[in-house]
């Protein structure tokens, strides 16, 4: 075998070895493949205008949706509370997917348990799984709180989480006063952002139950389903710290998805303290930084009598200005000179690079808040959004993004493709290419297929490391996004075989 402990080959190098090449060539003999010419002919057809029209008439099939399923969001949200074990009532295989998805993105272990419903539970209901599962999870992993969500299987048979959890407590699985917030997260509706929203509302409902609200001076902040939560939450905490604001981050997974390698495994690390979460009912206002993805929680918080201030992924100068000014309005704290300087530096950086940004066209795909924030930034730097594909779109998002595009001279060519998937995006890029594409790692197939260079911003980012450690919010975050975009623009310039700009100085 070509693999050896002396020189370990990664899979890319390993599968180039003659043994594997030979194996793959022989495998083809049994696959009854179409001829190479036929494959080329079909490939060319699928990139034509004729096929684009057929593709956009597609109704009963989704191909590569730019979204994941509800419990994934619920698990991320639950991970952001102190000592909290995400627990999924349903199939074990689903939970393996949530854990691996988060693990591959953050390059960190993702702790989450399942009560492993199988055929008998599908017929008789999953109550026994909940009774045993809560007892085992509590005894083995010693959490301070267990946050329960569901997979499709539990939802199809209609398991009642509230009743099951009460029943499990009566049977002695866990103490009566042990906190078990829950959220039904049926994946056949919504997406990972809906699941996040449902779980955040579920946790706050639990923590705030029976609390009488006495308004204080502090504010709450929540980042929504955010693949950059490690960098972003730290940046938001830094900004609020500089302003001297008293705040609580509601769901803060920045530490649990960035634990140090010092010999100690931390199943739980950091997170919103349970007591702080309870006291958060008294906040003067809650700032939702991804308002489209936390709409239900926003309504719930408003019903409690708090002001809710919603943003949509505040990337860039205008969006950061708006965030800081709203914080200043609500708290009465001034924006310090240090932040004014950071703002000026971002404006300076944008001006330095203006010639390379102006007029470049960008297609985008991703979650509504992510796409809104990035489009806002592109317009700010004079770039032109083109095809905007949002599988988990909402009416509110379409209205607000439409208004944003309408208000800018750079937004005139953009079109929003609500509810469409990445196979639609392929048709769009093949027939009307943009200069660049912005989206998650799944965009790399579009890049290879259509030649439109991919700038990786979104969730998940599996095939590049450590992006999540750097913020995209605040002035510092805006700078990071700017550099990501510019690096790709310069890479493309350098690779242009007919280019006359292979320069050292730009």
- Catalytic residues, by residue number, are 152, 156
The overall longest dimension of the chain from CA atoms, in Å, is 76
Identity of the residue, 71 or 181, whose beta carbon is nearer to ligand SF4 in the bound complex = 71
CB 14 within 8 A of CB 20: yes
Task: Please identify, using beta-carbon distances, which residue of 73 and 385 lies nearer to ligand SF4.
Answer: 73
187 binds ligand SF4 (CB under 6 A): yes
Q: Which of 151, 232, 441, 480 binds ligand SF4 (CB under 6 A)?
A: 151
For residue 236, the surrounding DSSP H or E stretch is helix 229-243
From edge to edge, which strands make up the β-sheet containing 113-114? 113-114, 84-89, 145-150
The encoded tokens of residue 285 equal: 């206002």
Residue corresponding to tokens 């999540």: 468
Question: Contact between 152 and ligand SF4 (CB under 6 A)?
Answer: yes
d(CA 4, CA 14): 10
Nearest to 227 by CA among 458, 476, 502, 483: 458
- To the nearest whole angstrom, how small is the minimum distance from the Cβ of residue 89 to ligand SF4? 11
State which H helix or E strand residue 88 sits in.
strand 84-89
Asked if 460 is part of the footprint of ligand SF4 (rule: CB under 6 A), the reply reads: no
Structure tokens at 378: 């592109």
The answer to whether residue 154 forms part of the interface with ligand SF4 (CB under 6 A) is: no
User: Can you tell me which of 71, 227, 231, 368 binds ligand SF4, judged by CB under 6 A?
Assistant: 71
Size, binding site for ligand SF4 by CB under 6 A: 8
Identity of the residue, 152 or 278, whose beta carbon is nearer to ligand SF4 in the bound complex: 152
* Nearest to ligand SF4 of 91, 391 (CB atom): 91
* Cα–Cα distance for residue pair 236/473, rounded to 1 Å: 8
Assess 157 for contact with ligand SF4 (CB under 6 A): no
Q: In this complex, which beta carbon is closest to ligand SF4, that of residue 97 or of residue 423?
A: 97
Q: How far is the CB of 18 from ligand SF4 (least distance, A)?
A: 38
Q: Taking a C-beta distance cutoff of 8 angstroms, is the pair 175, 143 a contact?
A: no
Tell me, residue by residue from 88 to 117, as one string, x for binding to ligand SF4 by CB under 6 A and - for no binding. Answer: ---x--x--x--------------------
Question: Which residue's CB atom is positioned nearest to ligand SF4?
Answer: 94
Q: Which is nearer to ligand SF4, 95 or 454 (CB)?
A: 95
Q: Shortest distance, CB of residue 155 to ligand SF4, whole angstroms?
A: 8
Residue 248, beta-bridge partner list: 220
Min dist CB 160 to ligand SF4, Å, is: 18
- Strand 247-249: give its sheet, edge to edge: 247-249, 219-222, 285-288, 307-310
φ, ψ dihedrals at 489, nearest 5°: -60, -45
- Tally Cβ neighbours within 10 Å of residue 71: 34
In sequence order, the 6+-apart residues with CB closer than 8 A to the CB of 371 are 364, 365, 388, 390, 401
Q: Which is nearer to ligand SF4, 135 or 152 (CB)?
A: 152
Rounded least distance, CB 88 to ligand SF4, Å: 8
17-36 residues in contact with ligand SF4 (CB under 6 A) are none
Q: Residue 55 Cβ, how far from ligand SF4 at the closest point, in Å? A: 24
Identify the helix (H) or strand (E) that includes residue 21: helix 18-29
Q: Which residues sit at the interface with ligand SF4, rule CB under 6 A?
A: 69, 71, 91, 94, 97, 151-152, 187
């Amino acid at each position: 075998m070509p693999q050896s402990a002396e020189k370990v080959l990664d899979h890319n190098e390993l599968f180039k070895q003659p043994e594997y090449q030979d194996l793959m060539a022989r495998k083809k003999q049994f696959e009854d493949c179409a001829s190479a010419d036929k494959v080329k002919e079909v490939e060319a057809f699928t990139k034509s205008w004729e096929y684009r029209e057929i593709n956009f008439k597609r109704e009963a099939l989704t191909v590569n949706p730019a979204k994941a399923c509800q419990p994934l969001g619920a698990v991320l949200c639950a991970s952001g509370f102190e000592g909290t074990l995400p627990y999924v009532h349903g199939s074990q295989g689903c939970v393996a997917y949530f854990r691996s998805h988060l693990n591959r993105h953050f390059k960190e272990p993702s702790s989450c348990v399942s009560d492993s419903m199988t055929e008998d539970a599908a017929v008789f209901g999953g109550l026994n799984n909940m009774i045993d599962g809560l007892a085992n999870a509590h005894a083995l992993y010693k959490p301070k709180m267990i946050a329960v969500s569901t997979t499709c299987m539990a939802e199809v048979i209609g398991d009642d989480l509230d009743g099951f959890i009460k029943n499990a407590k009566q049977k002695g699985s866990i103490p009566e006063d042990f906190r078990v917030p829950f959220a039904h997260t049926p994946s056949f509706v919504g997406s990972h952002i809906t699941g996040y929203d449902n779980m955040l509302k579920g946790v706050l409902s639990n923590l705030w139950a029976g609390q009488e609200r006495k308004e204080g001076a502090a504010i709450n902040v929540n980042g929504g389903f955010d693949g950059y939560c490690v960098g972003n939450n730290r940046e938001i905490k830094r900004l609020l710290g500089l302003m001297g604001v008293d705040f609580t981050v509601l769901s803060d997974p920045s530490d649990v998805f960035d634990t140090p390698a010092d010999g100690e495994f931390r199943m739980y690390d950091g997170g919103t303290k349970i007591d702080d979460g309870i006291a958060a009912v008294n906040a003067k206002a809650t700032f939702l930084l991804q308002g489209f993805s936390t709409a239900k929680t926003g309504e719930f918080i408003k019903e409690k009598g708090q002001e809710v201030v919603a943003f949509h992924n505040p990337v860039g100068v205008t969006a950061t200005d708006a965030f800081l000014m709203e914080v200043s309005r609500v708290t009465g704290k001034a924006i310090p000179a240090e932040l004014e300087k950071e703002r000026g530096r971002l404006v300076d950086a944008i001006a330095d690079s203006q010639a390379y940004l102006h007029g470049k066209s960008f297609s985008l795909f991703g979650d509504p808040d992510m796409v809104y924030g990035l489009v806002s930034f592109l317009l700010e730097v004079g770039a032109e959004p083109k095809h905007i594909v949002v599988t988990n779109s909402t009416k509110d998002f379409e209205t607000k993004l439409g208004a944003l595009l309408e208000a800018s001279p750079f937004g005139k060519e953009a079109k929003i493709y609500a509810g469409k998937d990445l196979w639609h995006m392929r048709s769009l890029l093949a027939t009307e290419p943009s200069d660049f594409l912005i989206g998650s790692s799944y965009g790399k197939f579009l890049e290879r297929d259509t030649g439109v260079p991919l700038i990786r911003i979104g969730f998940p980012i599996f095939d590049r490391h450590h992006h999540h450690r750097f913020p995209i919010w605040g002035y510092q975050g805006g700078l990071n996004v700017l550099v990501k975009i510019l690096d790709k623009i310069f890479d493309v310039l350098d690779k242009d075989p007919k280019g006359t700009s292979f320069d050292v100085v730009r």
